[in-house]
C-alpha cells in the first residue's frame, strides 16, 4: 500500500516576503523530505480546486464571495496578520480541493494514508471569517466531503498545531458527526480552546480541548494522547482521521512557547497512525497547518512522513528543550472526569 501526497505550485504564489507564513516553508519541507530520501517514496495524487459548492459545506456564501472579491482586487490584509494577493483565492481553493481528493483516495483504497502539503493553512478560518493566516478550513471541508461524497458517518479531526483550531471548532461545534480534538498553548492566540469547550447541543462531548501551559513538552502530550485521546477515539469509532498538522509547538519555533521535540512529532504521528489502523483501516491524512522554524518544520514533517511509511528512524538534530515542564497536578484526572473516561 502507498502513502499519497498532494502538492501544487499555485501554493507558492500565495506569498508575502517577510511574513512567517510564506512560500519558503514549502521549499524547506520538500528539501528536507528529499534529503531524507522519502519524497520519492510517496505517491503523487493530482491536485484540484474545490468548487464553491464544496467550500459551502462549511463556509457561508458571503465568506467565500468576500475572499474571492478581495483577491480580484489584488488583495491586502483581511485582518491584522492574514494577507491575500491575486493568487490567494485560487491557492485556497486548490488547497481545500486537494485535501478532499487525498481523503477520498484513502477511503477508496487507492492509497493507504497521506500528507497534504498545502497552503494557505486552514484551521483558524471559521464558518464566516478568515483569520490567523487561514482563508478556508481545509480539514473541515474534507471531513464534510468525506461524508457527503463517500457516505462516511463519523470523521475525527485531531489538531496538534500549537494554536487552538478555533475555525475548525466553530464549524463542528454542534455537529456530532465530526469529532474534534485540539492541543494548544493556552492562554494564547486566538484565545479560545479552554478545556470546558466540549461541544454543544447534540454534539456535547465530541469536541475535546487540551490547553497546554507555556513550556509544556513531550511528557504532557504523550500522557494526553495515551490517557485521554486514545480511549476517546476508541469510544467515538471514526471512519477516517484527519490531522491538522502544525509543527509550531517545537521548542525552537519563533511564534510560540511550547517545548516539543522533533522526536515527539514522530511519536504523535505514529500514535495517530496506529489508532487509524485499529479503528478505520488505516485511513489517516495529515494536512499542513503552522510551523515557522525552517529546520523544525522540515524535520518534523519528515518524521511524520517516515511514520506514514511505517518507519521509526526519526531524526532530531535540534534535541530536546532544556526547560523544566510545569507540574500537571490533577490536569489529566480533571479532563478524564470532564469527558467521562
Ligand atoms: Zn499554529
Helix (H) or strand (E) holding 146: helix 138-150
Asked if 267 and 308 count as a contact pair (C-beta separation under 8 A), the reply is: no
pLDDT computed for residue 71 by the predictor: 76
Please identify which residue in the block is written with the cell numbers 534535541.
Answer: 319
pTM of the model: 0.98
* Widest Cα–Cα separation across the chain: 52
Partners of residue 266 on adjacent β-strands: none
The total number of structural domains in the chain stands at 1
**Exposure on the CB side of residue 306, measured as CA atoms within 13 A:** 25
Per-residue pLDDT of the chain (341 residues; tens, 9 = 90+): 799 999 999 999 999 999 999 999 999 999 999 999 999 999 999 999 999 999 999 999 999 999 999 877 777 899 999 999 999 999 999 999 999 999 999 999 999 999 999 999 999 999 999 999 999 999 999 999 999 999 999 999 999 999 999 999 999 999 999 999 999 999 999 999 999 999 999 999 999 999 999 999 999 999 999 999 999 999 999 999 999 999 999 999 999 999 999 999 999 999 999 999 999 999 999 999 999 999 999 999 999 999 999 999 999 999 999 999 999 899 999 999 999 99
Query: How close is the Cα of 243 to the center of ligand 1, in Å?
Result: 13
Rg over alpha carbons for the chain, rounded to the nearest Å, is 18
Query: How close is the Cα of 255 to the center of ligand 1, in Å?
Result: 8
228 is in which domain, residue-wise? 3-338
From residue 100, how far is each of 93, 105, 118, 238, 341 by CA, in Å? 11, 9, 12, 17, 32
Query: How close is the Cα of 10 to the center of ligand 1, in Å?
Result: 22
Asked if 91 and 50 count as a contact pair (C-beta separation under 8 A), the reply is: no
Query: How close is the Cα of 336 to the center of ligand 1, in Å?
Result: 26
Query: How close is the Cα of 74 to the center of ligand 1, in Å?
Result: 26
The one catalytic residue in 123, 124, 164, 293 is 124
CB burial of 115-126 (b: ≥16 within 10 Å; e: otherwise) equals bbbbbbbbbbbb
Query: How close is the Cα of 249 to the center of ligand 1, in Å?
Result: 8
* 124 is a catalytic site residue: yes
| Cβ atoms < 10 Å from Cβ of 10 | 20
Q: Which of 121, 126, 238 is nearest to 171 (CA)?
A: 126
Phi, psi of 157 (to 5 degrees): -115, 125
Query: How close is the Cα of 52 to the center of ligand 1, in Å?
Result: 26
User: Cα–Cα distance between 284 and 274 in angstroms, integer?
Assistant: 10
Q: Measure CA of the first residue to CA of the last residue in the chain; give whole Å.
A: 34
User: Cα–Cα distance between 104 and 96 in angstroms, integer?
Assistant: 12
Residue 13: which CATH number?
Answer: 3.40.800.20
Amino acid at each position: 500500500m502507498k502513502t499519497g501526497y498532494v502538492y501544487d505550485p499555485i501554493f507558492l504564489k500565495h506569498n508575502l516576503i517577510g511574513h512567517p507564513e510564506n512560500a519558503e516553508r514549502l521549499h524547506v519541507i520538500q528539501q528536507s523530505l528529499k534529503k531524507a530520501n522519502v519524497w520519492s517514496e510517496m505517491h503523487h495524487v493530482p491536485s484540484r480546486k474545490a468548487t464553491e459548492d464544496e467550500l459551502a459545506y462549511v463556509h457561508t456564501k458571503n465568506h467565500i464571495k468576500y475572499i474571492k472579491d478581495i483577491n480580484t482586487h489584488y488583495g491586502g490584509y483581511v485582518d491584522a496578520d492574514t494577507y491575500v494577493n491575486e493568487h490567494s483565492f485560487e491557492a485556497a481553493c486548490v488547497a481545500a480541493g486537494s485535501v478532499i481528493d487525498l481523503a477520498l483516495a484513502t477511503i477508496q483504497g487507492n492509497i493507504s494514508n497521506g500528507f497534504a502539503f498545502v497552503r494557505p493553512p486552514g484551521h483558524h478560518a471559521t464558518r464566516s471569517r478568515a483569520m490567523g493566516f487561514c482563508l478556508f478550513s481545509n480539514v473541515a471541508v474534507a471531513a464534510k466531503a468525506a461524508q457527503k461524497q463517500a457516505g462516511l458517518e463519523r470523521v475525527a479531526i485531531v489538531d496538534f498545531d500549537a494554536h487552538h483550531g478555533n475555525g475548525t471548532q466553530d464549524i463542528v461545534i454542534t455537529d456530532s458527526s465530526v469529532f474534534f480534538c485540539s492541543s494548544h498553548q493556552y492562554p494564547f492566540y486566538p484565545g479560545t480552546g479552554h478545556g470546558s469547550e466540549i461541544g454543544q447541543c447534540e454534539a456535547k462531548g465530541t469536541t475535546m480541548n487540551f490547553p497546554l501551559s507555556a513550556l509544556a513538552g513531550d511528557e504532557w502530550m504523550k500522557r494526553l494522547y495515551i490517557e485521554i485521546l486514545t480511549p476517546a477515539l476508541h469510544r467515538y469509532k471514526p471512519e477516517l482521521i484527519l490531522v491538522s498538522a502544525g509543527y509550531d509547538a517545537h521548542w525552537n519555533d519563533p511564534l510560540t512557547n511550547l517545548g516539543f521535540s522533533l522526536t515527539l512529532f514522530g511519536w504523535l504521528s505514529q500514535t495517530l497512525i496506529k489508532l487509524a489502523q485499529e479503528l478505520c483501516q488505516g485511513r489517516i491524512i495529515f494536512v499542513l497547518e503552522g510551523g515557522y522554524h525552517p529546520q523544525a518544520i522540515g524535520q518534523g514533517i519528515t518524521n511524520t512522513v517516515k511514520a506514514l511509511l511505517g518507519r521509526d528512524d526519526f531524526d532530531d538534530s535540534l534535541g530536546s528543550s532544556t526547560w523544566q515542564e510545569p507540574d500537571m497536578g490533577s490536569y489529566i484526572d480533571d479532563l478524564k472526569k470532564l469527558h467521562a473516561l
